[in-house]
Structure 1
Amino acid sequence: MPHPPDIHPGNFSLNVSAIAGFFGGDEAISAIQTIHHYKTRKFLGWYNSPGSWNVGKKFGKLAKSRFWDGLFPGPNEEPAKLFELDGKRGPKYVASRSGSVLEHTGHLANLIMEKSKEELGVLVPGARDVTKLNKVTIIKMQPVPPHKGRHALAAILPIAASWITCAICGWIRDWFCFSMILLGIISNGMFSVIIGLACLQLQGVSTAPTAPPGDGMLLDGDNIVLLLGREKEVATITRGRFILEYNSMHGEEPVRDEYAAIGFFSSLLVIQLLAQLLLIPQGTFTGQTMFLISFAVSWLYNLYLSSINNEYIQERSILKIFHLQKKHMRTYICGTRTTAAVFTCLMLQPPGFKPENIICNFIPNDTQVWITWRKKVLDVMRTRNGDRVACHNLLEITNEEKRDLGIDNENLLKKLLGDAKIAYDLAMREQEWLTR
């Protein structure tokens, strides 16, 4: 049988071993970090992926024992934090009924706030010139499926490229490049399966079945999110978190090193780099070209996966878990802080509500104008009768107040009360939406 033809480039060598394990590391890590959001992704890693050194060193930290800690030094982070599913600090939260305040919420509240910032919103006409835009998003929480995407179809390309180039290397009997491509396919495929075994879950907060609604607001500068709904759902957003559980990797009996398989295949990825550095230069020009082609196609696929922002996928997951759709979310852009403050308080107005705390969170000023404005606004909130004419009358300046304030402060107060009237009318319309 004649030997298959080979290209003879003279003394020229590609020397692709120099980029074998380091090229494409960031893209490979980003691609792995989204693996748990897709049901089938763990079975689609059978290709010769670049960045094996970076991937192995980062995720090998999940392995917990003295041996693995020595091989992969660094803190043993929780899986959810390593995959950037937890760890971000969320905005301040104020409960409308109890008035309790969480200075910092968790990762889920951060996702909800970031999602609200992306909303365009409806501009609320103001009674005076815009001073500073405040965005208010109302979310009507719903009582609490695998994510699907085009990645499965796209994965055909790197898998096919890796296996075809491996076969070509075997056909020309370049066993060095053949074995290195095959090792890359097996090590990346097994690592994907093992790392993807974790079950992604949303860990909520236990609440009493008879708990009152958990209405409250998230505050992040000029961005406000109103969470309206049951205590269970609201508490999950403010205090819940994503978790990854690898319990399926062992039986019911506890074991000392539950992440040993992850440590083993992470070390295999590191060994893969060392083997490539030694053996790829021994291959033929054609074999090295095939190895480079498999790397290039795999890098493009990893680049595609890493372009899908991890936080965006998590935001979509949150919306899906809570069955939140466009019809459950409204966003308004208020031209002044006073409009936003009154609108927010009127939307967070259950029985027993103490609006003083909410108003003071927005506008802590203690000048005579603001004290008078707060008193009139609070009178409107306490009436709770829904009579537009009566409430607007409460927002008019009395003759006695005119005498006490003087002309300049009177004009300022008129404008502030005009903001309150606009906020009141908007809130009454939104209350109809909430009760539907």
Structure 2
Amino acid sequence: MAPIAQSAPQHDAAVHDPLAGANFTLDSSGVAGFFGGDTAVHGMATVNLFRWRKWGGWYNTPGSYEIAKQYGQLANARLCKGLFPGGGTDDPSQLFGLNGKTGPKFLATRSGSAFEQTGHLAALIMRMARKMRPDHPVARGGQEGITTPATVTVLDLQTVPGEIVYPKLSNHHSALIAVIPVGASIGACVGCALVADWWSFSSILLGMFANGCACFVLGSGRLTFKHHKPADGAPRGDGMFVSHNSGVVVVRGDEGAVNCLTRGRFYLAYDSSPSTSGTPPPNDVDPNPDDSVDEDPKKDLERANGNAAGDGEGRDGEEKEDKNQGDRDTDSAPPGGQPNSFGIGLCSILLTAQFLFQLLLIPQGVLFGQVMFVSTLAVSWGYNTYLSSINREDIQTAVLCDILKLGKANIRKFEFGTWTAMSTFACLALQGNPNKPLPDHSSMVWNALLPSTTEVWAKWREVVNAKMGQSGDWEDLLRYQEGEGQERETKPFSPEDQKLLEELLKDAYAAHKRYLEVYVPRQG
């Protein structure tokens, strides 16, 4: 339908149209493409991170088709797959940014396990460590040299959470600010009704209803944390995350606590069907582990064992098996972990219908009603932009730290002037007590942090390893002379190599001294 040439007054209007008689209208294609849908999609991704957020979507928003296309993939129905093709993921945690990041390499020094890459939660911890300011920056002008500054962040995990935890969501002011776009949409509806512009009135009301339903249905997922229970008798999970771009994060604690970072993940648990075993427990209350086991414990145990061993072939096989399945992977999801396909599909179709109907209805309205419609989109766009600016990773990190009871007292970050000093300090932190020897699998830590195979580095590791586990000071490292106290079978070092070895040993001494000064006293 072509837009009218002139805005005429409506006979049944309750008030006089202030724009009656205007000789132009807003172009329908311009209204349909007003602003963009990216901010609406990103704003919708916050709907499961804050309390009451799902109730604040009753406003007319731009980008309804983009929202339908993004989140309509959650509806495991042929109609929605036909409407929104593209082969996207149907995992809610992926779509809402709760999973999908690749974490750094992890070395478990006491069990000897090595993970070439970890998951989303480990990536969050590394990001948190990278953004922290060091409690103890490198001392400029001290004994320690400064060539390539590096950092060590030490996390002491003292709490082992339940296998499934429903974290308590925080009250965020975004839910309160939603009053602004909701009020603007309601006011615009009232204004359109007063001038009897029922076309614009219907368009705004349809947008409010469609977005409100989508926000409520998508936001009905309960943020859920799950990790694997370690085998009985498993050693402590002490280890380190290694990233040559972000430094090293040393993690100390029980295997169950460290598992939370290496193999735990976030889910969205939906009450999608009557088969769901009960409703989620109240906030801050862990469910009964007996009620939260997977449907196939044997299969889950095989997957856990394969991941614990770092078996890449097992993971590839699991991925191939998932691709061959027509349905979602629910083997490792908690009860109720998938959304209601019918509700998601209905909301997606409603959002698509909103997009199409508004293209047809808005040109039929008077100019005042069209201005009201565009005003609601402008206010909603501003609110969506604000929601998009909220860093979801910061929120997830705060939730994870709350689950692990990880506060400032359990996190310490140290800066060093050389990678050598940092590596020595990291090994001392893994060692815990400086008078005890390193764990049996400490060699893989040295190889990961200092992979050089030259004779100087080999000698340095030999000397420092010999000092580990010895009581007393390491001051004799400052006076170390190659070949002293032992016969050397190979040719002696050149003066340059000898000088390099002495400098590296000074770095190790400086790291040991700092460890005794700033860390051992805290352990009491």
TM-score bin, normalised by smaller chain: over 0.9
Counterpart-to-counterpart distance in 2, 1:102 and 1:318: 21
Residue number in structure 1 paired with 2:210:
187
- Is contact 2:477–2:505 with CA below 8 Å preserved after alignment? no
Query: C-alpha separation between the residues in 1 aligned to 2:339 and 2:507?
Result: 62
Q: CA deviation at 1:434?
A: 5.5
| Cα distance change, pair 320–9 in 1 and its aligned pair in 2 (3 A) | farther
Question: Does the CA contact (< 8 Å) of 1:178 and 1:287 recur in 2?
Answer: yes
Amino acid at match of 1:423: A
C-alpha distance in structure 1 between counterparts of 2:207 and 2:56, whole Å: 14
Q: After superposition, give the CA deviation of every residue in 1:338-368 in whole Å (9 maximum; x if it has no partner).
A: 0011000111116644332211211122222
Q: 1:169 to 1:17 in 2, by over 3 A?
A: farther
Mapped to 1, the partners of 2:215 and 2:123 lie a distance apart of 28
Structure-2 separation of matches of 1:3 and 1:135: 70
Contact 1:21 1:273 in 2 (8 A): no
Corresponding residue to 1:42 among 49, 54, 61: 54
Give the CA deviation at 1:297.
0.8
Of 174, 189, 193, which residue of structure 2 is paired with 1:151?
A: 174
Distance 1:328 1:335 in 2: 24
1:126-180 residue CA offsets vs partner (Å, 9 max, x unmatched): 5354221112111111313212211122111001100011111111110000011
1:16/1:292 contact within 8 Å kept: no
Preserved CA contact (<8 Å) 2:37 2:62: yes
In 1, the alpha carbon distance for the partners of 2:410 and 2:482 equals 44
Q: Which residue of 2 aligns with 1:135?
A: 151
Unaligned runs of 5+ in 1: none
Could you list the per-position Cα deviations for residues 324-346 of structure 1 after superposition, in whole angstroms to 9, with x for gaps in the alignment?
22221111121111001100011
In the other structure, the counterpart of 2:111 is 98
TM-score by length of 2: 0.78
Task: Indicate yes or no: 2:76 matched with 1:64.
Answer: yes
Once the two structures are superposed, residues 244-295 of structure 1 have per-residue CA deviations (whole angstroms, 9 ceiling, x without a partner) of 122x132117999941111111111011011000010000111011111111
Q: Distance in 1 between matches of 2:118 and 2:37?
A: 32
Counterpart residue identity of residue 349, structure 2: S
Paired residue for 2:455, among 365, 368, 387?
368
Query: What is the percentage of aligned positions where both structures have the same residue?
Result: 38
Q: Could you tell me whether the CA contact under 8 Å between 1:22 and 1:54 is conserved in 2?
A: no
1:378 aligned onto 2:459: no
Aligned mates of 1:42, 1:235 — CA distance in 2: 31
What is the DSSP-based 3-state SS (H/G/I as helix, E as strand, rest coil) of the residue aligned with 1:382? coil
> What is the alpha-carbon distance in structure 2 between the residues aligned to residue 291 and residue 116 of structure 1?
46
Residue type matched to 2:42 in 1?
S
CA distance in 2, matches of 1:52, 1:196: 16
2:388 is matched with which residue? 306
Return closer, same or farther for 1:61/1:311 CA change in 2, 3 Å cut-off. same
- Superposed displacement of residue 27, structure 1: 0.6
Please say if residues 379 and 394 of structure 1, whose CA atoms lie closer than 8 Å, have aligned partners that are also in contact.
Answer: no
Partner of 1:196: 219
Q: What is aligned with 2:298? A: none
Give the 3-state SS of the residue equivalent to 1:404 in structure 2.
coil
Answer 1 or 2: which has greater helix percent.
1
- Cα distance change on mapping 1:165 and 1:17 into 2, 3 Å: farther
What is the count of residue pairs matched by the alignment? 431
CA distance in 1, matches of 2:65, 2:521: 54
- The structural deviation recorded for 1:396 is 3.8
Moved more, 116-125 or 151-160: 116-125
Amino acid at match of 1:410: Q
Q: Matched residues in 1 for 2:53 and 2:354: separation?
A: 22
Equivalent residue number for residue 3 of structure 2: none
Task: Tell whether 2:413 aligns with 1:331.
Answer: yes
Indicate how the Cα distance of structure 1 residues 253 and 237 shifts in structure 2: closer, same or farther if over 3 A, else same: closer
* Equivalent residue letter for 1:393: D
Q: Which residue of 2 aligns with 1:407?
A: 495
Q: What TM-score results when the alignment is normalised by the length of structure 1?
A: 0.93
Partner Cα distance (1:96, 1:87) in 2: 26
Give runs of aligned pairs for residues 171-320 of structure 1, distance below 5 A. Answer: 171-208=194-231, 210-222=233-245, 223-246=247-270, 248-252=271-275, 258-320=340-402
Matches within 5 A, 1:384-403: 385=471, 387-388=472-473, 391-393=474-476, 396-398=479-481, 400-401=483-484
Matched to 1:203, the amino acid is K
Counterpart secondary structure, 1:35: coil
After the TM superposition, which parts of structure 1 deviate over 4 Å for at least 4 consecutive aligned residues?
253-257
Is 2:193 the partner of 1:170? yes
